[in-house]
Amino acid sequence: MAAPPQQGQVNLVFWGKKNDDSNKSGVTPPGSGGPPPGTSGGAPPAGDGGFSPEKALRFFTHAKTVHETENFEYAVQSWLNGLRWDPSSLSGLEGFFGSMDGWLTKSGNKPVGKEVYRSVSGKGDVDRYLYSLLEWGHRPSEVMLGIRVLEAAAKLRLTEPGTWVGTRVLAAAIRDKKTRKDVLLKIAECFSTLGAYDRAVHAAEAALNMDRTDGQLQAFIRELAAQATMTRGGYDKTGQSGGFRDNIRDAQKQQQLEESDRISKTDETIDRLLLAAKAELESRPGDLPTIEKYCKLLLERGRPQDEERAHVLYLRAHSDSKAFRFREMAGDIRIRQARRKVQSLKKMLEGAPQEESGQRMVAQAQDELAKLELEEFKLRVEAYPSDLTRKFELGKRFFAVGEYNESITCLQEAQADPKNRVPALLMLGQSFLKIQWVDESIGTFRQALEMRDVIPETNLELRYWLMVALQAKGESDRDLDAVVESDKLASSIAVQQITYRDIRPRREAIKKTLGELRAARGA
């Protein structure tokens, strides 16, 4: 497979850093001949000074030799061992896929041996990249496996390999008629992280074609297009420390760029960045990316006056541009403030938990928060009617304020999104129970429990609520079978976690009902 046009060479200073445990796992390749001359096996030794393209090249040369003898499995492991020494190698990546193709053809699509998987089963970022690469190599048509590789490559800032992977993943995703919008957005975000802005625009536009009403995505595409223009003009070449611009002449501007990308900033740094962003906004008062950048810094500093200033600017940007995302960000500020008020009141009440006036204040603040969130999410669903995640969030807010019929309507639509299906069914079942549609509640909880990949915590919660619904059915309909099943669920939950919710008193109540019904049957 031919490589796409290059987006810039990864700076090998990045690979000269001292390694974490991504360097510690690896094995000597099996097969005749052992590891290539001049190498010590699979992984770079911990603390040896970093990655080495020279040592990687020896593995790659060895891989080519054994590939030509059709010892494809050994060749695959040799490519992986070489990529551990130099993950930025595009030729190593292409060679790996060539040997994987040979192995799959020769073996009839069987997986490689366990020793190959063990060689890349560490916990470091490079291990995760190589392991996901091996999984995808077995099933290269599966988009989600490819995205795992792309995400791992983006995290490591592997510009050329990541772009090569992403180009193929994007093509496969576009061909797949079942591809979701969020999948295409994930690909766009990874391309953006890698600095491949032209391809990021392509992926984002494919996502936009699935929902032409998404104003936030349209703005994101404009920003990507601007970055792509800068890249083509040579203003955004990959450099040290994760891809900062290396050809900007203004040293003060370079410092601002580096400081703004830091996760942890000192107060002095934030103040300096805010002054620069404010000056930039004053020179371009209507520029939306500049407004967003300034507001982000205001919220990062987080003073009360900063939040109010950002709120005003977001509302003004929404009024001027009609882009709803600015209205959404303004709403997020008010929600954050309301949540902080609740937490502050709860903390004040810790010293006097029985103080009645304090409890009323907390209850009132919680009620105000729930109503505020409900109104905000009503606006968001109105602006993005096809966004099922927002619809799920609105269903949760309707539930929180006791509007269960409205919650049911939203959650029934939201369950169509696989990402939210199980949590939507969990809340949907509780909503049915609240309006005393007990049979519908039981059926909903059973449906959720039949879903694949339900995490243990959610499985426990689903079983608990199914137990509650069956208990309610047994008590209202005098249904012995429902109470028997409820009793079995109560017993299994108690065995698993005796302190879960109110399982002790509820189990006793179920036992009592069970005894009464059996006595009545016996009479």
Q: pLDDT tens, position by position, for the chain (523 residues)?
A: 333 333 333 332 222 333 333 333 333 333 333 455 444 444 443 333 457 888 888 899 888 988 888 888 998 999 999 999 999 998 899 899 988 888 888 888 888 888 888 888 888 889 899 999 999 988 888 889 999 999 999 999 998 999 999 988 888 888 877 888 889 999 999 999 998 888 888 888 888 888 888 888 888 888 888 877 766 554 444 443 443 334 333 444 444 444 444 444 567 888 889 999 999 999 988 888 899 999 999 999 999 999 999 999 999 999 999 889 999 999 999 999 999 999 999 888 887 767 788 889 999 999 999 999 999 999 999 999 988 999 999 999 999 999 999 999 999 999 998 888 999 999 999 999 999 999 999 999 999 999 887 888 999 999 999 999 999 999 999 999 999 999 999 999 999 999 999 999 999 999 999 999 999 887 5
Every domain of the chain and the residues it spans: 14-232
State both tokens at 501. 């919710």
pLDDT confidence of residue 50: 58
pLDDT confidence of residue 355: 76
Query: Rounded to whole angstroms, how far apart are CA atoms 354 and 333?
Result: 31
DSSP state of 441: H
Q: How far is CA 188 from the centre of its chain?
A: 14
Q: Taking a C-beta distance cutoff of 8 angstroms, is the pair 44, 84 a contact?
A: yes
Query: Rounded to whole angstroms, how far apart are CA atoms 439 and 451?
Result: 19
| Cβ count near 366 (within 10 Å) | 17
Burial (CB count within 10 angstroms: exposed 0-12, middle 13-18, buried 19+), residue 293: middle
The helix-helix angle for 503-522 and 456-477 (nearest 10°) equals 40
User: In whole angstroms, how far apart are CA 218 and each of 147, 238, 263, 298, 331?
Assistant: 23, 26, 27, 24, 20
Query: Rounded to whole angstroms, how far apart are CA atoms 86 and 343?
Result: 48
Give kind and range of the element (H or E) at residue 287.
none
Single-letter code of the amino acid located at 234: G
For residue 465, give the 3-state DSSP assignment: helix
State both tokens at 301. 């500093």
The residue among 209, 213, 24, 25 whose CA lies nearest residue 116 is: 25
Single-letter code of the amino acid located at 162: G
Q: Is the pTM of this model over 0.75?
A: no
pLDDT confidence of residue 36: 54
User: In whole angstroms, how far apart are CA 386 and each of 5, 184, 219, 398, 413?
Assistant: 36, 16, 18, 18, 10
The residue among 477, 451, 476, 446 whose CA lies nearest residue 462 is: 446
| Beta carbons within 8 Å of 412's beta carbon, 6+ residues apart | 428
DSSP state of 281: H
